Structure 1
């Protein structure tokens, strides 16, 4: 067998070198692709964590806002007493100040640790105010007495205060010899109000209900 011609050897050497260069180039390309994939994976993981943190922060703010919003429910303890309780299970009432319409001519009532509304606080004043407003002696359905309730309460160790306008539902019946009897029915929230505007809002509500 004859030896390969010098040109043939040189041609094969050049071809082998070209193949090696192609493999090196392909390896570089694959390395770049791997780096890109790694970078994209890291970015997606970071973006997911950022989204999770954003969602958690939003949920935390929403939870805090809900906790700071108080809704009082009332249960009838007797004809002349309503027991008040926050709708939120984590809300603990510390004290309350209950204001009445100016037309009743009575001072606010403060309670501590026992949220409630008692008919004896305002029953006589309400009867006189109803007479002055020429309202009927007997209620056909539930009558409404607006009150402004400032409640100081705690949620998860944080203190909050809310002032809101409520309607106290009541019934009144006339008795020929015994006078009138007042029965408390329940409590209905009207709206949240600013402390500085409480009395004005209360009086406006009374005026609307007694027209």
Structure 2
């Protein structure tokens, strides 16, 4: 009886047996695992090396996923910005097309308008052409009304400062009516389409009063 009691006490005091009994690690419970995969402690806590390795792998995968997520979000922001830029450019181009699509047509029509104005100017020299002048002026007025509806403006800078951006100087001439560098005569009317120059006005620029 004494020997049996002594054996029981020895078993209870055996640290290895106590550790293995207290350890509930899955590695120890598995038939195909090795104890070297565990770091078991005498207090019953067990650090499974296999579990630790898996956790480290999961952490690495999580960090990788976070990096990919940040990269994808950055790409998303760039795509949104590029799309907005493209949208604004398309709208701007469409507006440009809307405003200036008729420019080639207007440029072709201006020659006819010039001829009508010349016809009126020459017809005024003859009293017999009064009725014809009235008819031509009516047609010319209708054309210019259409011009105005589509944003076409005349450039008639008589008496204004010469502006090379909108005026084409064909000659300089002394003038007692207009100071130097003022437009003293218009040889051909200029035109703008929605603020854009389509033809400069051909003008004579005053060189000041004639010096004797």
State TM-score, norm by structure 2: 0.39
Task: Give 1 or 2: higher helix fraction.
Answer: 2
State TM-score, norm by structure 1: 0.39
Query: RCO higher in 1 or 2 (8 Å CA, sep ≥ 6)?
Result: 1
Larger radius of gyration: 2
Task: Give 1 or 2: higher strand fraction.
Answer: 1
